[in-house]
Homo-oligomer: A and B are copies of this chain.
Amino acid sequence: MVTPIDPTATGFLLAENRTMPMHVGGLQLFAKPEDAGRGYVRELYEHMRSYDSLDEIAPLFLKHPHRSARTAGQLVWEIDELFDIDHHVRHSALPKPGRIRELLDLVSRLHGTRLAWERPLWEAHLIEGLRDGRVAMYTKTHHALVDGVSAMRLLASVLSTDPDKRDMPAPWASKPGAKAERERRDAERRGSDLATQALRGALGITAEAAGMPGALVRTLRRGIRNETSSLSLYAPRTIFNQPITGARRFAADDWALDRLRGISKATGTTMNDVVLAMCSGALRTYLLELDALPDTGMVAMVPVGLNAKQSHLASTDGGNAVGSVMVKLATELADPEERLKTIHASMRDGKQALASMTPAQILAMSAIGQAPAILTPMLKMSGLVRPPYNVVISNVPGPRTTHYFNGAKLLGTYPLSIPINGMALNITCTSYDDKMCFGLTGCRRTVPHLQRLLGHLDDEVKALEKVAGTYL
């Protein structure tokens, strides 16, 4: 069976090369249920791989890109008739001593390996061997199949808030029950969770962006060059804005939402401002240690959800869309309080400016954020004197209650994203339960000792708490 590939997916497939694998990932940490026997992880794995016939797997997880004379050289989706679940669902273990460090090493390595086009574009690795007994799952899905947010949603769609619920299907199952459950949850979300819904709608936007007419591209280029738009800033050159290699480093950690909320309330800023201030302070310390901090402040590209009225845009999900705000990170300032204030003001200005932009401008700005890999060659960004921004920082709201997969409690969920040439570091956060989970994905060579950013993020939370304390 052969089906056409939409322009966005084609864009992600064609943009991919050895140094830029185009898959998103998710790392989930679970606690075993209390009644787990010795064979629990193996049984979970056997359950995950028990979907081995074509009709038990959802079509999304069966198709692979194919190009041949028969398809006149066009890329098409083809069902993998030789689908082999054991290639996609794997049971792994960590070397001793089984710390989070060994887990992140393994996940970094897995995330740095391209998915072979000759098979469906996904993998799921169930990982045991953490010395504290936790179990990890790393999933990898090509951006041509889903965007990062949808991938995290898909993983979450099979979770339950009921710890006693077992026999839950794997995310790739096509079982009617699973589908019904997913649809019910989709409906729930449509009612309750506009911001993430907005991000999901972004896929619709990028489809238009990939086929964006020349006039729009010109608008966008003017915007980036700061000729017209107050949103665009000159960003300094940093080590992050270089060509990258295919090697990846992933680092992840989480912080209590209560701590971030405390800072936000005491300082009159938003949670998102606090997240950006954490990143700003951590990046400043990191670059100072490397003697690579630019004199002028760094700029982050931050995707934000827009409501229908703001966006004036039709999208696949009924009027919600994503805009991008260029935020001053104030990394040139030593005082965490000043940084937070500057970020708060810059974010507020950016959102206001976004509200006054024309739909075409918003579309163009959104496109930079959602499909940089596609747009970079189109815009010939490399020909610009400076990068339009230094780093992408996304903050995606997630579920605020505890979830379980077949009795295993989900402790945290950390997104892995796609570094591209000129944008070697990506920071994506997602809230889950009572935590803010950070996932940092970088090129291992371009961003040395990436894991140090975790310590710096932690220091920054403390510094911001001190600031907030004086505000109280």
Contact = CB atoms under 8 A, between A and B. Distances in A.
Given A84-B245, A116-B114, A245-B84, A128 B18 contact: no
A95 B92 contact: yes
Contact of A95 (B82, B129, B245): B129
A95 B18 contact: no
Contact of A96 (B41, B116, B119): B41
Given A18-B119, A247-B87, A129 B82 contact: no
A242 interface: no
Contacts of A41: 95-96
A42 B94 CA distance: 12
A149 B84 CA distance: 30
A153 interface: no
Contacts of A45: 95
B128 A245 contact: no
A112 interface: yes
A329 to B, nearest CB: 30
A113 interface: yes
Interface in A245-272: 245-247
Main SS class of interface, A: loop
A93 interface: yes
Interface string A187-220: 0000000000000000000000000000000000
Contact of A87 (B38, B42, B91, B112): B112
Interface residues of A, number: 33
A45 B106 CA distance: 14
A87 B116 contact: no
B116 A82 contact: no
A18 B82 contact: yes
Contact of A93 (B87, B95, B116, B444): B95
Contact of A18 (B42, B118, B247, B445): B118
A245 B82 contact: yes
Interface in A342-390: none
Nearest to A126: B95
Interface in A79-136: 82, 84, 86-87, 90-96, 105, 109, 112-114, 116, 118-119, 128-129
B96 A94 contact: no
A84 B95 CA distance: 21
Nearest to A97: B38
A19 interface: yes
A162 B42 CA distance: 40
Contact of A42 (B92, B95, B119): B95
Interface string A139-181: 0000000000000000000000000000000000000000000
Nearest to A117: B18
Nearest to A129: B93
A232 to B, nearest CB: 32
Interface in A224-249: 245-247
A19 B92 CA distance: 24
Contacts of A247: 84, 86-87
A274 to B, nearest CB: 35
7 contacts: A38-B96, A87-B109, A87-B113, A95-B129, A96-B128, A114-B116, A116-B116
